[in-house]
């Protein structure tokens, strides 16, 4: 968790400006107002590329996004918010107005909105770039008034409510990264489940997220030697050609993506273990390399030192 702002650490006269600057940066450009001496604490958790979890303990503020803000060059995003306590009023497209404490609030941040926090409140929100979400703006906008009817609504609400405590309890590592990806997947599924037609949005979601699903699968099975296009295709019910095309669309090559991940995993592991006879070959084997010499060549090409030299440098640095 990173604390983006805690106004208790600021002079009384600087607090309102700090709240305005922090909220405009964390979400999307908007007109922000806060009372003098405003009390605010904004925390952020990284959920992976293009996705964040925000929590705002606020003494009151207002966010208004108008047409002039929509012409900015900031990434296009959505926000799935959960007001936990206080008084919150949101005017946005077809979203019902009034206090909706405990209800999910889906906001298309490419549209105008007016968000008023009128009393001490606690709010959480998952903010995701459209590029990461893999759904169109029209699909998101159509889901806004229908969100409570989704069979995934209650599960997503519980997930978002519990997410800060769960993340804080987890150690850094692959499982934490998977949790971030799973959160984005759950939000995507919630929105897609409200679609009235099984047409364009399924193509958008499939094409837009296949690369993400493939790379998540690769990270999970990075050590497996049979991590091939055929295995990926079978696991995701697509052709091998589609697998290669998904990587090509992102300027990547499947084999090199797998190789980079294995080299980085081996490099991290070598830095943790003492330099001893046979250790390099054992690490190479566990990270899917059949030939220790091939591993050493690729390692030097990637990092400029041999695996054993890297171990020695890591030991010297402590």
Say if residue 260 is in the same domain as residue 121: no
Q: Number of structural domains, the chain?
A: 2
211 belongs to a structural domain: no
Say if residue 128 is in the same domain as residue 176: yes
CATH of the domain at 230: 1.10.10.60
Determine the pLDDT at residue 82: 92
Say if residue 77 is in the same domain as residue 136: yes
pLDDT at 98 over 70: no
Determine the pLDDT at residue 259: 92
Determine the pLDDT at residue 12: 79
Between 8-17, 18-27, 65-74, 262-271, the lowest mean confidence (pLDDT) is in 65-74
Say if residue 228 is in the same domain as residue 191: no
The whole domain housing 272 covers 221-317
**In whole angstroms, what is the distance from residue 112 CA to residue 144 CA?**
14
Strand order in the sheet with 31-34: 31-34, 61-65, 113-117, 88-91
pTM of full prediction above 0.75: no
Residue pLDDT, tens place only, 229-275: 999 988 877 778 888 888 887 788 999 999 998 998 888 888 887 76
Residue located via tokens 């150690």: 171
**pLDDT band, very low/low/confident/very high, at 223 (cuts 50, 70, 90):** confident
Nearest to 192 by CA among 148, 146, 139, 154: 139
Say if residue 186 is in the same domain as residue 46: yes
Determine the pLDDT at residue 199: 47
Angle at 18 between CA 161 and CA 9, to 5 degrees: 80
Beta strand 51-58 with 31-34 is unpaired
Average pLDDT over residues 46-67: 84
pLDDT at 206 over 60: no
215 belongs to a structural domain: no
**Tokens at residue 54, please?**
């925000």
Determine the pLDDT at residue 196: 56
**Tokens at residue 115, please?**
């968000």
228 belongs to a structural domain: yes
Residue pLDDT, tens place only, 275-309: 665 588 888 888 988 888 899 999 999 999 999 88
Say if residue 13 is in the same domain as residue 145: yes
Average pLDDT, the chain: 82
Say if residue 288 is in the same domain as residue 151: no
**In whole angstroms, what is the distance from residue 28 CA to residue 33 CA?**
14
Nearest to 109 by CA among 87, 126, 84, 85: 126
Determine the pLDDT at residue 204: 47
46 belongs to a structural domain: yes
* H or E element that contains 307: helix 307-317
């Amino acid at each position: 968790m990173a604390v983006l702002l805690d106004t208790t650490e600021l002079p009384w006269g600087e607090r309102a400006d700090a709240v305005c600057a922090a909220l405009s940066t964390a979400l999307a450009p908007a007109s922000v107002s806060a009372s003098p001496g405003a009390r605010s604490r904004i925390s952020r958790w990284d959920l992976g590329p293009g996705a964040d979890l925000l929590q705002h303990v606020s003494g009151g503020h207002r966010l208004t996004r108008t047409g002039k803000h929509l012409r900015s060059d900031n990434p296009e995003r959505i926000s799935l918010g959960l007001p936990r306590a206080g008084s919150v009023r949101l005017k946005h497209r077809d979203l019902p107005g009034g206090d909706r404490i405990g209800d999910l609030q889906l906001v298309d941040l490419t549209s105008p909105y007016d968000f008023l926090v009128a009393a001490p409140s606690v709010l959480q929100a998952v903010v995701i770039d459209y590029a990461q979400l893999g759904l169109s703006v029209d699909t998101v906008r159509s889901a806004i008034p229908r969100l409570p009817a989704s069979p995934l609504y209650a599960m997503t609400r519980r997930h978002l409510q519990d997410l800060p405590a769960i993340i804080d309890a987890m150690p850094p590592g692959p499982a934490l990264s998977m949790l971030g990806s799973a959160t984005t997947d759950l939000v995507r599924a919630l929105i897609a489940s409200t679609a009235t037609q099984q047409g364009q949005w399924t193509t958008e979601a499939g094409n837009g997220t296949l690369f993400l699903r493939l790379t998540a699968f690769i990270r999970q099975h990075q050590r497996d030697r049979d991590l091939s296009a055929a295995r990926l295709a079978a696991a995701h019910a697509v052709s091998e050609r589609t697998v290669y095309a998904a990587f090509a669309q992102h300027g990547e090559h499947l084999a090199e993506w797998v190789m980079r991940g294995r080299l980085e995993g081996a490099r991290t592991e070598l830095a943790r273990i003492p330099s001893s006879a046979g250790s390099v070959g054992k690490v190479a084997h566990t990270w899917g390399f059949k030939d220790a010499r091939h591993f050493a060549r690729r390692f030097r090409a990637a990092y400029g030192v041999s695996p054993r030299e890297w171990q020695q440098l890591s030991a010297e640095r402590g």
